[in-house]
Chains A and B, each alone.
Chain A
Amino acid sequence: MAEKKIKIIVAKPGLDGHDRGAKLLSRIFAEAGMEVVYTGLRQTPEMIAETALQEDADVVGLSSLSGVHNYFFPMVVKTLKGKGLDDVLIVGGGIIPKEDIPDLKKAGIAEIFGPGTKTDEIVDFIKKNVRS
């Protein structure tokens, strides 16, 4: 059997038009040896979940800068579960106030990475927690 690669969807839910953060994250994951599906701007939770399904993704990475995380992140989790994708690791990042983090974790986001997070830390977290 060939070496398994981690497949990660990088998505930016919401309507704002900046994807620099998401593109940078994509590069970081690719540099770490992962196969990164970059989906582009303005993704709905349904589109993100369907992409994860078709790509058989191990991880979904959500990036948000526009303050929509409290609505969108849990919606993505719910939509993924609705499609039976229970073992997909979901992580979030971007500009997210500390006080929002506990609720997001309760909603099923495995970890939230703030703007200052070291990229190694994100990569390590994914490698440790991804389904085997």
Chain B
Amino acid sequence: MTIDYAEEVLKGSPRAVARVITWLENDDERAKACMEKLYPHTGNSYVVGITGAPGAGKSSLTDKLTHHFRSNGLTVGIVAVDPTSPFTGGAILGDRVRMSELTNDPGVFIRSMATRGFLGGLSQATGNVVKVMQASGKDIILIETVGVGQDEVEVMRIADTTCLILVPGLGDVIQSMKAGVMEIADIYAINKSDLPGAHQLCAEVTNRLSQDSYFKKKAWTPPIIQTVATEDIGISELLDSITSHRNHQVETGSLLEKRRERTRQETLQMIHYELFRIIKKHLSENGRMDKMIEAILSNKENPYSLMEQIVSECIRLPGKS
């Protein structure tokens, strides 16, 4: 008897959830049929992104937040992303170390993932992985990003609320504010507030945010929460501000707008990806790709006209010859 994985995911089977996630990561063709069945059951949970530099305390905060959500009776899915080494293709996924206690809680499902070359702080599959966890019935999904570099913007596309974790003594905050990382956050957490410099950091961020609001009126003013993840300090305040942001977005309709935009982007991206896959396969199969490359290298062809030729060959839109 073959297992209906989608059915099992909907029943909440962690084993099925784990396997479907693997298919998504590997771009396995079994994933698509499964996702088609799961899709109507997604979108019911609230998605929170946790981003910030490596060592800022993202995993520790994710752990503590989850404990708080659990004591409120909510189930939690966690996606923790770590970087793939571009040299070896391998990865060390170490976020579970800080979440050990959650392992045996049946109301929590944790999946570690490697970026596999995807940029922006997540892996390519993260969006779909979140959906699988949603379909399995988790109330809250927490996404911990890689935290390397200043381009952690992908999480904002997937999360309903994004928390940026800052810590004293980890480089120039104002610098990263300039680079645009700060703009993505709905909530700022100053973690390691037990360390010297936390108050000053808090003042800097407050100052910068109030300058921002001078330039552009925003409906939501990001709160700044001081936390000590290791001591469970400030976590309920962090959770409260997540709830406030959620309520704010529900009341103003911006949550719906965010999800509409997300659906638009996801759908376009899927079409893009599938078209690319089909055309690439078509060109590779009969050796035409190699011939094209040779023709370009020997100046008999140029990639611009070849591109137009291929596209018009492969795609016929109604009303266009």
**Chain A interface (Cβ within 8 Å of chain B)?**
1-5, 7, 26-27, 29-40, 42-43, 46-47, 50-51, 53-56, 83-84
How many Å lie between the Cα of A81 and that of B215 in the bound state? 60
CB distance from A7 to the nearest CB of B (A): 8
In the complex, which range does the number of interface residues on chain B fall in? Answer: 20 to 34
Collect the chain A residues with CB atoms within 8 Å of residue B94's CB: 38
From residue A48, how far is it (CB to closest CB) to chain B in Å? 9
Which residues 64-98 in B have Cβ within 8 Å of A in the complex?
Answer: 84-85, 88-94, 96-97
Chain A residues lying within 8 Å of B27, measured Cβ to Cβ, are 1-2
CA distance A11 to B15 in the complex (A): 20
Evaluate contact between B89 and A38: CB separation under 8 angstroms.
no
B18 within 8 A of partner (CB): yes
Contact of A37 among B19, B21, B28, B112 (CB under 8 A): B112
Contact flags B1-44 to A (C-beta < 8 A → 1, else 0): 00000000000001101110110011111000000000000000
- Complex CA gap A51/B102 in Å reads 10
CB proximity of B234 to chain A, nearest CB, Å: 24
Is B111 an interface residue when CB atoms closer than 8 A count as contact?
Answer: yes
Interchain CB contact under 8 A, B15 and A35: no
Q: Which residues of B contact A38 (CB under 8 A)?
A: 92-94, 96-97
Report if A55-B112 is in contact (Cβ < 8 Å); known contacts: A2-B27, A47-B100, A50-B104: yes
Closest Cβ of chain A to B25, distance in Å, is 8
Q: Is the CB–CB distance between B104 and A46 below 8 Å?
A: yes
- In the complex, the answer to whether A56 meets B19 with C-beta atoms within 8 Å is yes
Give the complex CA separation of A45 and B239 in angstroms: 32
Nearest chain B residue, comparing its CB with the CB of A43: B100
Nearest residue in A to B85 (C-beta to C-beta)? A30
Residues of A within 8 A of B19 (CB): 56
A32 x B90 contact (CB < 8 A): yes
**Could you tell me if B114 and A35 are in contact, using CB atoms closer than 8 angstroms?**
yes
- Considering the complex, give the chain A residue whose CB is closest to the CB of B20: A56
Residue of A nearest to B109 (CB): A54
B21: A residues at CB distance < 8 A: 56
CA distance A21 to B161 in the complex (A): 39
Contacts of A84 in B (CB 8 A): 15
B18, B88, B110: the one contacting A30 at CB < 8 Å is: B88
Q: B230 to nearest A CB, angstroms?
A: 15
Most buried by A among B22, B84, B92: B92
The answer to the question of B263 belonging to the interface, with a C-beta cut-off of 8 Å to chain A, is no
A-B pairs with lowest CB-CB distance, top 9: A40-B97, A30-B90, A56-B18, A2-B27, A33-B89, A56-B22, A47-B103, A33-B90, A38-B94
Cα of A56 to Cα of B88 in the assembled complex, Å = 21
Are A5 and B114 also in contact (CB < 8 A) when A30-B92, A38-B93, A56-B19 are?
yes
A83 and chain B: residue at smallest CB distance: B15
20 A-B pairs whose Cβ atoms sit less than 8 Å apart in the complex: A2-B26, A5-B89, A27-B92, A29-B90, A32-B88, A35-B91, A36-B90, A37-B93, A37-B112, A38-B92, A43-B100, A51-B96, A51-B103, A53-B14, A53-B15, A54-B14, A54-B17, A56-B18, A83-B15, A84-B15
